[in-house]
């Protein structure tokens, strides 16, 4: 959530930044400032009247001490009348604050100055590419065929158990999933991240804190009986660990990693781009999250991008890094880098990670703060990234390493998988 002081300081600059994200309702900025003016008037009226009540209450005690009962009773009557006036002003103030918050959460985060202009994913900026694209056998096939050949994932039984988009990994497929999770977590631990295993459901306050609500409720699985949401990523519960926390500067950077299943409705997804593991409703992911000093957040972002790049390099997968344009960014992000791997069998790029700096947008909602050198309370910055999402990594490893009768595994996975290849 944007800070009011940012809007009030330079409304026109805020509008220009929102336009980079193609946010349409720019008049909302002026409406919010007008609402804040009304709130301030109500607050002033309340404070002035409350001060009068407090002063009069003190006078009552003094009059009673002097034995001036008649004057004290008159003052009591005046206080009672003032308190009656306080109630509607208090209600007006509460309503103004509620409406102000409801409007503030409708504004997305402001993009960083580093965000390129653009309307869609086609205008994202390629930062760099790495790895070698493999030369596949003539009879190479996409991962959904390899899955059947090597009996790795059973989509039909998964659909019987739950529904379409809930894959059932089996045998060597389940073993590869476990190997990937363990390797990713250990890779993150070696980089100084602390491991967590969070709840896979969150309450409304947690979903609001990281920006899933009210923006993405249509993509989340919701349990109305308990008012819980299945997590779309472990970013949500992990970042909420520090909700309503006053950190000490020496704790920065807070570096956390977590494995979790992720649940996304993916409403409206269809077509060839969602075949096999390209897009499913339940998948596994290892996440990295940092909470940092505001002056260090872009340094942390670059560090996280380099970290994910090294992870992809270790998996021997061809990849590219994209800086997302304004029209392709998420509601909450200030700057995002996407990682894609090249699928030689599908002959297209597959997104496997996003690494984002949210600046103070999440921490303002979450009230994650610290005191600076002058004792002033400041908001920390939050960042997160996929390290990594498993389905398309799984697919990329199968497709880019397929041989006639086996699938070679990257060397780093051999100790975790227990052998060098997936065999029939």
Q: Which of 41, 43, 31, 44 has the alpha carbon at shortest distance from 4?
A: 31
Q: Does the annotation list 387 as a binding residue?
A: no
Asked if 181 contacts 417 with a C-beta cutoff of 8 angstroms, the reply is no
287 is in an annotated binding site: yes
Q: Which two tokens stand for residue 166?
A: 């809930």
pTM score of the predicted model = 0.92
3-state per-residue secondary structure call for 115-173:
CCCCCCHHHCEEEEEECCCCCCCCCCCCHHHHHHHCCCEEHHHHHHHCCCCCCEECHHH
- 125 marked ligand binding residue: no
Burial of 198 (0-12, 13-18, 19+ CB in 10 A): buried
| Residue 286 annotated as lining a ligand binding site | no
38 in a known ligand binding site: no
The pLDDT profile of the chain, 424 residues, written as one tens digit per residue, is: 999 999 999 999 999 999 999 999 999 999 999 999 999 999 999 999 888 888 888 888 787 777 887 777 787 888 788 888 888 999 999 999 999 999 999 999 999 999 999 999 999 999 999 999 999 988 999 999 999 999 999 999 999 999 999 999 999 999 999 999 999 999 999 999 999 999 999 999 999 999 999 877 789 999 999 999 999 999 999 999 999 999 999 999 999 999 999 999 975 455 556 789 999 999 999 999 999 999 999 999 999 999 999 999 999 999 999 999 999 999 999 999 999 999 989 999 999 999 999 999 999 999 999 999 999 999 999 999 999 999 999 999 999 999 989 999 999 999 999 999 999 9
Annotated binding residue 353:
yes
Q: CA–CA separation, 60 vs 345, rounded Å? A: 86
Q: Cβ distance 190 to 307 under 8 Å?
A: no
Instruction: Tell me the CA end-to-end span of the chain in Å, nearest whole number.
Output: 52
Annotated ligand binding at 97? The verdict is: no
Known binding residue 233? Answer is: yes
DSSP string for 282-300: EEEEEEEEEEE-GGGHHHH
* 53 labelled ligand-binding: no
Residue ranges per domain, the chain? 4-104, 121-423
Going by C-alpha positions, the residue among 367, 382, 207, 203 that lies closest to residue 290 is 382
Bond prior to 240 in cis (omega within 30° of 0): no
- Strand, helix or coil for residue 237: helix
Give the Å distances, CA to CA, from 375 to 5, 371, 394: 19, 5, 49
Whether residue 143 is annotated as binding a ligand: the answer is no
81 belongs to an annotated ligand binding site: no
**What's domain 121-423's superfamily in CATH?**
Bira Bifunctional Protein; Domain 2 (3.30.930.10)
281 marked ligand binding residue: yes
Q: Which residues contact 213 (CB under 8 A, 6 or more apart)?
A: 204, 207
Q: Which helix (H) or strand (E) holds 322?
A: strand 319-323
Question: Under CATH, to which class is 4-104 assigned?
Answer: mainly alpha
């Amino acid at each position: 959530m944007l800070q009011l002081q940012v809007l009030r300081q330079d409304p026109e600059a805020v509008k220009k930044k929102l336009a980079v994200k193609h946010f349409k309702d720019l008049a909302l900025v002026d409406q919010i400032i007008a609402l804040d003016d009304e709130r301030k008037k109500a607050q002033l009226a309340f404070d002035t009247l409350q001060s009068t009540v407090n002063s009069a209450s003190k006078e009552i005690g003094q009059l009673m001490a002097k034995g001036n009962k008649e004057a004290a009773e008159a003052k009591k009557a005046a206080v009672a009348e003032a308190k009656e006036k306080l109630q509607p002003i208090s209600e007006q103030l509460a309503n103004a604050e509620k409406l102000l918050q409801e409007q503030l959460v409708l504004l997305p985060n402001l993009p960083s100055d580093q965000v390129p202009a653009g309307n869609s994913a086609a205008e994202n900026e390629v930062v760099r590419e790495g790895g070698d694209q493999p030369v596949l056998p003539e009879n190479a096939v996409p991962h959904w065929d390899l899955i059947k050949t090597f009996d790795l994932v059973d989509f039909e039984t998964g659909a019987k158990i739950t529904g379409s988009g809930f894959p059932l990994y089996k045998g060597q497929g389940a073993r590869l999933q476990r190997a990937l999770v363990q390797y990713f977590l250990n890779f993150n631990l070696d980089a100084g991240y602390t491991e967590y295993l969070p709840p896979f459901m969150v309450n409304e306050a947690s979903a609001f804190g990281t920006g899933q609500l009210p923006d993405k409720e249509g993509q989340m699985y919701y349990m109305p009986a308990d008012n819980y949401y299945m997590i779309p990523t472990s970013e949500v519960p992990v970042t909420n660990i520090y909700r309503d926390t006053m950190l000490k500067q020496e704790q920065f950077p807070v570096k956390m990693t977590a494995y979790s299943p992720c649940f996304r409705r993916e409403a409206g997804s269809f077509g060839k781009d969602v075949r096999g593991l390209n897009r499913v409703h339940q998948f596994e992911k290892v996440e990295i999250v940092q909470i940092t000093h505001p002056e260090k957040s872009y340094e942390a972002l670059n560090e996280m991008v380099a970290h994910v790049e090294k992870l992809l390099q270790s998996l021997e997968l061809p990849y590219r890094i994209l800086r997302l344009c304004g029209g392709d960014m998420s509601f909450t992000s200030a700057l995002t880098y996407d990682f894609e791997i090249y699928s030689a069998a599908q002959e297209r790029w597959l997104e496997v990670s996003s690494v984002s700096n949210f600046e103070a947008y999440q921490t303002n909602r979450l009230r994650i703060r610290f005191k600076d050198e002058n004792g002033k309370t400041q908001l920390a910055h939050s960042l997160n990234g996929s390290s990594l999402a498993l389905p398309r990594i799984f697919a990329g490893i199968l497709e880019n390493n397929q041989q006639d009768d086996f699938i070679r595994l990257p060397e780093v996975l051999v100790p975790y998988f227990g052998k060098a290849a997936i065999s029939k």
